[in-house]
Amino acid sequence: MASVFTILFAGLSAAQSFAAEVNVYSGRQEALIKPLLDKFTAQTGVKVNLVTGKADALISRAASEGEFSQVDLLVMADAGRLVRAKNMRLTQAIGLDLPALSSSFIDEEKHWVALTTRARTVMYKKGSDVVLPESMLALADKKYAGQICVRSSSNIYNQSMTAAMMLDKGDEVTSKWAKGIAENMARKPKGGDRDQIKAMIAGECQFAIANTYYLGGMLTSSDESQREIAEQVAIAWTPKSEGGTHINISGVSIAKHAPNKAAAEQLLTFMLAEEQQAWYAEVNQEYPVIDGVNWSKTLERLGRFDAQSVNFNDMGRLNGDALKLMDKAGWQ
């Protein structure tokens, strides 16, 4: 049976388009969002003007444009940036009736809503003779000295992971953990998540800290060499008894001065419909936020897991403090 939200979207699509165009600033790569936007245009006749780039630069651009900004929707790949945009008063409350999501996936004042989730995990090489850590926290143990590949403290995914630990374990425990991670690194942080995975398979380290959708993207890549690397990777999921696996979100906000608000609402509704949620899972290898939407076969291969319970607003607010803590611990 179709959900009420799906029926609502169908009604909106059948009606005349609210506006001729909608303007989107996206901190996500074009390939991870444009196919959906093209589909939206085909179904509604509403033109989507997409600007992609570094998330912080797009937030700064919207801020500098002020009331004259033409942006309607801000799409960001991390809770920290969604919260940052809200705190800079660049967003407005979403006036739509949103689908039945977990309360953690909707800002308490409805300034943002999650589109997808992703897990940040400990990865290792299949068949390797390693002692698997019980959790991300355990990876700071001295027995893992020289065994970790991870991005720098400037990476917002690491900042959010650290902020979530601060909320769960407190500053003292998190500081010791960050210091342990820094001391256990096999090399100075460099590159992105895929680079950590590649370095681990190449033998530069025993464990890589990376988001699941990067591994999923490698498993489904048209590049045979990436697929061969990814097929060698396994994930050490953190069980519920140890707090669960850290998760983050991608999400969307309506800009404060959106000139095409009705079209922005129509596009937001479209992106949260079940069909598009299934696309995120199948193509981007991200987890849907709508219950009942099937995971891709690739995500199922990676395994089911217990997700960490986290308040994404609080996590986002602590990003700056997390960065200071990591740098002080020697995680550069």
| CA proximity to 186, closest of 219, 230, 139 | 139
Asked if 263 and 17 count as a contact pair (C-beta separation under 8 A), the reply is: yes
Homologous superfamily assigned to 118-246+306-328: Periplasmic binding protein-like II (3.40.190.10)
**Average confidence score pLDDT of the chain:** 92
Predicted confidence at residue 29, as pLDDT, reads 81
Annotated binding-site positions for Fe cation: 213-214
At 286 the pLDDT is 94
- Which among 77, 82, 37, 79 has a CA at the least distance from the CA of 59? 82
Joined together, the tokens standing for residue 129 give 């003779």
Q: Is the pLDDT of residue 5 over 90?
A: no
Nearest to 94 by CA among 70, 78, 69, 74: 74
Q: What is the pTM of this model?
A: 0.88
- Tens of pLDDT along 234-250? 999 999 999 999 999 99
Q: Are 159 and 153 in contact (CB under 8 A)?
A: yes
Q: Tell me, what DSSP letter sits at residue 245?
A: B
Q: What is the rounded CA–CA span in Å between residue 142 and residue 95?
A: 51
**Contact indicator for 30, 79 with CB cutoff of 8 Å:** no
Binding residues: 213-214
pLDDT tens for each residue of 48-86: 999 999 999 999 999 999 999 999 999 999 999 999 999
What's the pLDDT at 332?
Answer: 86
Least confident of 13-17, 196-200, 289-293: 13-17
Beta bridge partners of 103: none
Per-residue confidence (pLDDT) for residue 13, from 0 to 100:
44
Identify the three-state secondary structure at position 306. coil
Instruction: Report the phi/psi class of residue 267: left, alpha or beta, with left for phi > 0 and alpha for psi in -120 to 50.
Output: alpha
| Residue that wins the pLDDT comparison between 32 and 121 | 121
| Structure tokens given for 168 | 């769960």
Q: What's the pLDDT score for residue 176?
A: 97
Query: Are residues 206 and 175 in contact, defined by beta-carbon separation less than 8 angstroms?
Result: no
CATH of domain 4-117+249-297: 3.40.190.10
What pLDDT score was predicted for residue 97? 87
Q: Where are the alpha helices (DSSP H) in the chain?
A: 4-14, 34-44, 55-65, 79-87, 156-169, 171-183, 193-201, 212-219, 224-230, 261-271, 274-279, 297-302, 312-317, 319-328
What is the predicted pLDDT for the residue at 11? 42
Each residue of 83-125: pLDDT tens digit? 999 999 999 999 988 888 888 899 999 999 999 999 999 999 9
Pairing of strands 91-92, 113-125: unpaired
Q: Where in the chain is the domain with CATH 3.40.190.10?
A: 4-117+249-297, 118-246+306-328
290's tokens: 């709508």
pLDDT at position 4? 41
